[in-house]
Amino acid sequence: QQQQHSSIPTDNSHIDHHDDVPIPVPQCFTTDLVPSFLKPHVVEHVLQMKLEEEEAKLVKERERNININNDDILDFEEMQLRTDIHNGALMARAATKVADELLFQFSCLTNGSVTDIVDNFLKKIPLPTDFCAYRSDPSCKDLTNYRTITGVCNNLQRPYQGSSQTAYGRLLPPIYDDGIRTPRAKSVLGGPLPPCREISLAMGSKPHFDPVINNLWVTYGQFLVHDITFAAPVTDSGRTPISSCGCDSRDTDMCSVIEIAANDPFMAGQKCLAVPATAQAFPNQICSLSVKEQLNGNSHYIDLSVTYGSTRQTAFDIRAGADGLMKTMRKVGFRFELPPGQRDGRSCIDATETNKCFAGGDSRLMENSILSGIQAQWLRLHNKFATELARIRPEWRSQDTILYEEAKKILSALHQRYTYEEWLPILIGETTAQQYVGDKTLFTEYDPSMPGVVFNEAATAVLRLHTFVRDLITRCKPNGQMIDQLWFNEISSRCKFAYDTTTNGLDSFLCGALYDYGFAGDTNYAQQIHHRLFESRNHQGETRRSDIVSLNICRGRQHGIPGYNAYREFCGLRRVRRFEGFLDTMNFDSVRTLQMIYKHPDDVDLFVGANHETHLSDALVGPVSACIIGIQFRHLKYGDRLFYTHRGEFTLEQLMTIKKYSYNCFICHSTDIDEVAQNPFRPPDEKTNPLQPCSQCPSFDFTPWHAASTN
Ligand code: HEM
Ligand SMILES: [Ca+2]
């Protein structure tokens, strides 16, 4: 500990070293020593040293990454970092280390409950501009009406807001045990919080189904959250996620270590789950010290970034380079295209010379084959639309960029529409959706004062809807006839079945997803993601497994997310003192379970509390979840300057066409499936949700895009 805190230069000889008597926050910020330590050259000197230390570590990580044969399944391609942002993640990490050192020098006595006071103090300490991730305002002056890939210049007053590789927003200030950066790990009554894996083990794995949703609704949700959030892992100097995390990793800025008990029924012998921590970012684009904030690698806006990318390099790489088209792969035996192959990245584990993993705008595209299928749908339609636009607008014919942007603009609008009109109301209920994102008018207004950002609480807790994931996956033929069922792990991070022409590749998964019920939104998680996530064998023949529930809980603590009780209060409910107080949002069994696991109601993790809530009457989540999700989607609508219904985005006729293009016809036109139910997010039902033949689907009406209509 002492060694870590030795770099404040003592050139100011009148400053004695602190006398080791801890002073509570905020009194420690008013001691006589403070002004001397805060001189800009002192801050700069310490920052420079911390930066060099951190950089050296990353170079070592790089060497290691190159030398080892990486067994990791989710092996990302090199993550492209934006060139308009100085290596922000590294800077931000160094900056919180400086903050840590300052507080030590001031003899501050800190704990989780003073994190917000510490943060307010730190934010008053400016950083030299050279060290800032956001050194200059990007120029938005040559801006077109199209979205930028990163999302930069969406908000013209705060151009970086909501752009890729910036910090998440927060609904409540974070809680870190040291007031700055170490994960929340202590109970408010003292002593440790219950271990993440222990909490996970208290949740079930029983396969309960919910017949009101199908697996397409579930996987569309996964596709949607991958559009808005990617808590990027800490990367080495070559921008590859670090691979050195092990059970003995102590640096919580680099690694998150989840303990596994020796008597664990599924993972005994594994000792721990060790994963890279989330990379850091500067908050709110201000150039100052602060407590730890996490970096969202993707553009926060709902802009189909899974399909188009969140960095300019990736976006460029996945375009065909002519006629506005995206790269795709043709394979004999398939009517429709596949996503393009990845050059040498390993986003899947069974690639061969001919059957490569897929490349796309988001590294998690191959997490499962249904998800890859959804990506394929958007690509296929993009190319169809670009081709059609070239046909009706001869003057655009050789204009790759215009065709690309126009097709992209229509598809992003469709994605937003299906998200807000079809997907979200099923999750939070029609009433709540109306309350947060409902409009009385056809055209809506942008609100530049509303930050179009993803909140850490949404990404790290309430949108982690893994409870709905099922683990037996049906494949079917275009006519709906079942082919077979596969276990989830056979289609996770694998491409084999995507290339299987005898069973119709990706389309067979999309077909199955229409008919498969989702899992119920309860405290049960499908075996294959609960206790057997990413199951593999290492070189020694030992089985390695992970657990989505433990990862979610520990990720929340690492991100400093306050407990469920705090968000009850935030959402207008009572902050309770006794577990029985939770009975207004959850049933007796849940309250008893939480009481058995946790020592105090304030300790209950947001992910866990939200998961135990009784659902609102027409929804699949409870009140606190619905409140946070509602606010999240409100921000991503009214805080997005280019949201599809905002006045000025489309002409009335264009908007009407977009509103008329139903999701079931979208599926018909982007797969070889013969018939799709009226509401494709619910299982077909003769009476309530009848199948409709695709032959009856009208084409997307491009009339309002003819030159005469747009002038
Ligand atoms: C289909 C199977 C799925 C698997 C195997 C899976 C797996 C994972 C994994 C391994 C993580 C990273 C956990 C961590 O280290 O913190 C993650 C993150 C996440 N998952 Fe899933 N997931 C699935 C489906 C879904 C679905 C259906 C949703 C929501 C509708 C969802 C929402 C999220 C969210 C919001 C995150 C955080 C993403 C980020 O910010 O980086 N997932 N998931
Ligand atoms: Ca996005």
* Two structure tokens written together for 75: 């092996």
pLDDT on residue 342: 87
493 Rama sector, left if φ>0, alpha if ψ -120 to 50, beta otherwise: left
* Two structure tokens written together for 322: 């002519």
Q: Do the beta carbons of residue 237 and residue 63 sit within 8 Å? A: no
CA nearest ligand 1 atom 25, residue: 222
Residue 135 has pLDDT above 70, yes or no: no
Task: Using the mean position of ligand 2's atoms as its centre, give its distance from the Cα of residue 434 in Å.
Answer: 23
3-state secondary structure 508-556: HHHHHHHHCEEECCCCECCHHHHCCEEEEECCCCCEEEECHHHHHHHHH
Q: Is the model more confident about 130 or about 457?
A: 457
Residue 81 has pLDDT above 80, yes or no: no
Q: Which among 349, 374, 466 is the best mutation to test ligand 1's pocket, defined by most ligand atoms within 8 Å of the CB? A: 466
Q: Report residue 83's pLDDT band, with 50, 70 and 90 as the boundaries.
A: very low
CA distance 402 to 87: 32
Which one of the ligands is nearest to 297 CA? Answer: 1
To the nearest whole number, what is the mean pLDDT of the chain?
Answer: 91
Instruction: Name the percent of the chain lying above pLDDT 70.
Output: 93
Whether ligand 1 lies within 6 angstroms of the CB of 243 is answered as: no
Q: What mean pLDDT do residues 653-659 have? A: 98
Whether ligand 1 lies within 6 angstroms of the CB of 218 is answered as: yes
* The ligand 1 atom nearest the CA atom of 458: 35
DSSP E strands, 38-195:
108-109, 166-167
Which one of the ligands is nearest to 229 CA? Answer: 1
CA distance 525 to 552: 12
CA nearest ligand 1 atom 15, residue: 551
pLDDT digits (tens, 9 = 90+) for 403-442: 999 999 999 999 999 999 999 999 999 999 999 999 999 9
Whether ligand 1 lies within 6 angstroms of the CB of 561 is answered as: no
pLDDT digits (tens, 9 = 90+) for 522-566: 999 999 999 999 888 877 888 889 999 999 999 999 999 999 999
**Assembly ipTM:** 0.99
CA nearest ligand 1 atom 37, residue: 459
Helix or strand (DSSP H, E) at 484 = strand 482-487
pLDDT on residue 536: 84
Residue 131 has pLDDT above 80, yes or no: no
Q: Report residue 2's pLDDT band, with 50, 70 and 90 as the boundaries.
A: very low
pLDDT on residue 17: 52
Work out the angle between the directed axes of helices 400-417 and 652-660 (0-180°, nearest 10): 60
pLDDT digits (tens, 9 = 90+) for 344-399: 767 888 999 899 999 999 989 999 999 999 999 999 999 999 999 999 999 999 99
* Two structure tokens written together for 594: 């939480």
Residue 8 has pLDDT above 90, yes or no: no
**Nearest to residue 326, comparing CAs of 392, 409, 384, 255?**
384
Q: Which among 366, 454, 548 is the best mutation to test ligand 1's pocket, defined by most ligand atoms within 8 Å of the CB? A: 548
Q: What mean pLDDT do residues 684-709 have? A: 95
pLDDT on residue 6: 52
Bond before 562 cis per omega within 30 degrees: no
Work out the angle between the directed axes of helices 369-392 and 505-515 (0-180°, nearest 10): 110
Answering whether pTM is above 0.90, one says yes
DSSP secondary structure, 613-657, as one string: SPPPTTSSS-HHHHHHHHHHHHHHHHT-TT-TTBTTSS-HHHHHH
pLDDT digits (tens, 9 = 90+) for 611-621: 999 999 999 99
Helix or strand (DSSP H, E) at 386 = helix 369-392
Q: Any idea where the domains of the chain sit in the sequence?
A: 23-181+283-296
* DSSP symbol at 212: E
Identity at 693, one-letter amino acid code: P
CA nearest ligand 1 atom 32, residue: 464
Question: Burial level of 250, CB count in 10 A (0-12/13-18/19+)?
Answer: exposed
pLDDT on residue 212: 97
Residue 71 has pLDDT above 60, yes or no: no
pLDDT digits (tens, 9 = 90+) for 240-280: 788 889 999 999 999 999 999 999 999 988 999 999 999 99
466 is in an annotated binding site: yes
CA distance 673 to 556: 40
Residue 325 has pLDDT above 50, yes or no: yes
Q: What mean pLDDT do residues 176-205 have? A: 97
Residue 9 has pLDDT above 90, yes or no: no
CA distance 584 to 564: 14
